[in-house]
Chain A
Amino acid sequence: MEISAGTGIDRIVILVYFALVMGFGAYFGRYSKSTSDYFFGGRRFSWWLITISIVATGIGSHSFVKYSTKAYQYGFSSTMTYMNDWFFMPLFMFGWLPIIYYTKVRSIPEYFEKRFNKTARYLATTMTLLYMIGYIAIQLLTLATALYRIYNIPLMATVIIIAIATTIYMHFGGQTSVIFTDLFQGLILLFAGLLLFVLGLQYIGEGQFSTGLSSFWSYLTPEEKLPLAHFNSPPNFNFVGIFWQDGIAGSIGFLFLNQGLIMRFMAAKNVNEGRKAAAFNVLLILPISAIVVSNAGWIGRAIANGMPGILPAGLQPNDVFVAVTNIVASPGVFGFIIAALCAALMSTADTLVNASSAIVVNDIYRPLMKKEQSEKKQLEVARYASIGIKVIGVLLVPFFNSFESIYEAHGWFHSTFTPPLVVAVFLGIFWKRFTTPAVIATFTVGAFLMILGQFKHELIAPFSHGIELRPGKGYSYIGALYNIFVCASVGVIVSLLTKPPSKDKVDGLTVYDVSKLKASFKGGKVNDAKGKTVIVDWEISDIGDDSIRFSKNDMLKMKAEVGDLVYLCDNRKWLGGLKSIHSVYGEPHDTDGVVMITKNQQQSGLFDQNRKLFGEKEM
Chain B
Amino acid sequence: MLDFSRTWLPFIYLYGVGGIAFLIGTILIIKTNALNLSSQSHKNWFIILLFGFIYYAGIHATFILIALRG
- Residues of A in contact with B (beta carbons under 8 Å apart): 76, 83-84, 86-91, 93-95, 98, 222-223, 225-232, 239-240, 243, 247-248, 272, 275, 279, 282-283, 287, 430, 511-512, 514-515
Say yes or no: A243-B14 contact (C-beta < 8 A), given A89-B49, A90-B35, A226-B67: yes
**A84 to B57 alpha-carbon distance, docked (Å):** 10
Residue of B nearest to A517 (CB): B34
Q: Which chain A residues border B7 with CB–CB below 8 Å?
A: 226
Q: Which chain A residues border B10 with CB–CB below 8 Å?
A: 228-231, 239-240, 243
Say yes or no: A228-B70 contact (C-beta < 8 A), given A86-B56, A511-B32, A511-B34: no
Q: Which chain B residues border A86 with CB–CB below 8 Å?
A: 18, 22, 52-53, 55-56
State how many angstroms separate the Cβ of B11 from the closest Cβ of chain A: 6
- Are the CB atoms of B60 and A83 closer together than 8 Å? yes
Q: Which chain A residues border B52 with CB–CB below 8 Å?
A: 86, 89, 279, 282-283
State how many angstroms separate the Cβ of A481 from the closest Cβ of chain B: 10
CB proximity to A under 8 Å, residues B1-45: 2, 5-7, 9-11, 13-14, 17-19, 21-22, 25-26, 28-29, 32-36, 41, 45
Q: Which chain B residues border A282 with CB–CB below 8 Å?
A: 52
- Are the CB atoms of B29 and A90 closer together than 8 Å? yes
| Extra inter-chain contacts (15) besides given A225-B63, A230-B5, A243-B18, CB under 8 Å | A76-B63, A84-B56, A86-B53, A87-B21, A88-B21, A223-B67, A227-B64, A230-B6, A231-B6, A239-B14, A240-B10, A243-B10, A430-B28, A511-B29, A512-B32
A-contact 0/1 string along B47-63, CB 8 Å cutoff: 01100110110011001
Say yes or no: A511-B28 contact (C-beta < 8 A), given A84-B14, A95-B34, A282-B52: yes
- Are the CB atoms of A87 and B45 closer together than 8 Å? no
Q: Which chain B residues border A248 with CB–CB below 8 Å?
A: 21
Q: Which chain B residues border A95 with CB–CB below 8 Å?
A: 25, 28-29, 34
**A430 to B18 alpha-carbon distance, docked (Å):** 17
Q: Which chain B residues border A87 with CB–CB below 8 Å?
A: 18-19, 21-22, 25, 53
State how many angstroms separate the Cβ of B10 from the closest Cβ of chain A: 4
Contact of B67 among A90, A225, A283 (CB under 8 A): A225
**A389 to B70 alpha-carbon distance, docked (Å):** 51
Say yes or no: A222-B2 contact (C-beta < 8 A), given A90-B22, A243-B13: yes
**Most chain B CB within a 10 A radius of its CB, from A94, A98, A225, A239:** A94
State how many angstroms separate the Cβ of A375 from the closest Cβ of chain B: 34
Residue of B nearest to A226 (CB): B67
**A168 to B16 alpha-carbon distance, docked (Å):** 47
Interface of A is mostly: helix
Contact of B45 among A84, A88, A275, A283 (CB under 8 A): A275
Q: Which chain A residues border B19 with CB–CB below 8 Å?
A: 87
Q: Which chain B residues border A430 with CB–CB below 8 Å?
A: 28
Say yes or no: A231-B25 contact (C-beta < 8 A), given A226-B67, A514-B32: no
- Are the CB atoms of B28 and A227 closer together than 8 Å? no
- Are the CB atoms of A228 and B59 closer together than 8 Å? no
Contact of A283 among B11, B22, B41, B55 (CB under 8 A): B55
- Are the CB atoms of B25 and A91 closer together than 8 Å? yes
Say yes or no: A83-B67 contact (C-beta < 8 A), given A88-B21, A90-B26, A275-B45: no
**A239 to B16 alpha-carbon distance, docked (Å):** 14
State how many angstroms separate the Cβ of A95 from the closest Cβ of chain B: 6
**A511 to B24 alpha-carbon distance, docked (Å):** 13
| A-B pairs with lowest CB-CB distance, top 6 | A225-B67, A514-B34, A228-B10, A239-B10, A90-B25, A231-B5
Say yes or no: A226-B13 contact (C-beta < 8 A), given A84-B18, A86-B56: no
Q: Which chain A residues border B5 with CB–CB below 8 Å?
A: 230-232
**A578 to B62 alpha-carbon distance, docked (Å):** 41
State how many angstroms separate the Cβ of B21 from the closest Cβ of chain A: 5
Q: Which chain A residues border B14 with CB–CB below 8 Å?
A: 84, 228, 239, 243, 247
**A146 to B55 alpha-carbon distance, docked (Å):** 37
- Are the CB atoms of B2 and A240 closer together than 8 Å? no
State how many angstroms separate the Cβ of B26 from the closest Cβ of chain A: 5
Q: Which chain B residues border A228 with CB–CB below 8 Å?
A: 10-11, 14, 60, 64
**A534 to B19 alpha-carbon distance, docked (Å):** 43
Say yes or no: A222-B32 contact (C-beta < 8 A), given A90-B49, A239-B13: no
Q: Which chain B residues border A515 with CB–CB below 8 Å?
A: 32-34, 36
Residue of A nearest to B48 (CB): A279
Question: Can you sample 5 A-B contacts with CB below 8 Å?
Answer: A87-B18, A87-B21, A93-B45, A230-B10, A283-B52
Q: Which chain A residues border B36 with CB–CB below 8 Å?
A: 515
**A515 to B63 alpha-carbon distance, docked (Å):** 40
**A578 to B53 alpha-carbon distance, docked (Å):** 33
Residue of A nearest to B63 (CB): A227
